[in-house]
Amino acid sequence: MKIGFIGTGIMGLPMAQHLQNAGHELYFSTHFIEVPSELLIASATCCASAQAVAQQADIIIIMVPDTPHVEDVLFSEKGVASGLSQGKMVIDMSSIAPIATKTFAKRINELGCEYIDAPVSGGEVGAKAASLTIMVGGSEEGFARAKPLLALMGKNITLVGGNGDGQTCKVANQIIVALNIEAISEALVFASKAGADPAKVRTALMGGFAASKILEVHGERMIKRTFNPGFRISLHQKDLNLALSAAKELGMSLPNTATTQQLFNTCSANGGGELDHSALVQSIELMANHKVTE
């Protein structure tokens, strides 16, 4: 199949490689980011614009950081929309605003093309292992068409509902992840300052009701101080902003989400915006005047 892929960063690079390894012919564009050399193999073409990618490919996948980036890739002068012809499909795997997604989908549908939102969870580890959780919004027909490609990049693939519902699910996911990281940060800093070995505390907790993937992966990051980004704080801030702005529109409160966003803001204010989101622990350490490893 001829597939366009726009956005080959930390997540997009391994996702595109899985598609290549399955034998698909890929078309890339430098519209948003330079294409890594390891993707430019015999079955790949680097196009001059997103428009050219859409002209060549049957399905165009987008994996960029935020709502304005998706809008630019789709609807700029030489964007994807200007290169589409009837029957093609756009799959947006970015994490962006649900309401904007519905607007984007309508504009693409008016061109006679299918649109699905398919944001992912699992970070760089999941992208490399092709084990991402993928939350899909779109028609059942579009989902059926996209699923064989999505299955090359992820394992838990769910059609949540119509356009925008995949993005709503992703926002909910990011609330849960953020609050879990915050809870683990508090627990490990507390344990360490009380004199316990945080590594042994984490091991003990992994065998009980507090066990979680976040305790397993990010708890270890906090102890080993490995904050090189799998998923940057700045991106998680963006996702929590989506949650908080949507909550305002819905007339509801997300009190702990708001608090966790302030802790992320503390990390960014101290130069940690580009660190992995597990570095949230540094804001708790700052208030405790104590590091997990002390």
Separation of CA 41 from chain center? 26
Q: Let me know if 170 is a catalytic residue.
A: yes
- Tokens standing for 3? 């597939």
Choose among 213, 226, 200: nearest CA to 278. 226
Active-site hit among 170, 200, 213, 291: 170
Q: Give the Cα separation of 152 and 165 in Å (integer).
A: 22
Q: What residues contact 87, with CB distance under 8 A and at least 6 apart?
A: 112, 113
Active site residues: 170
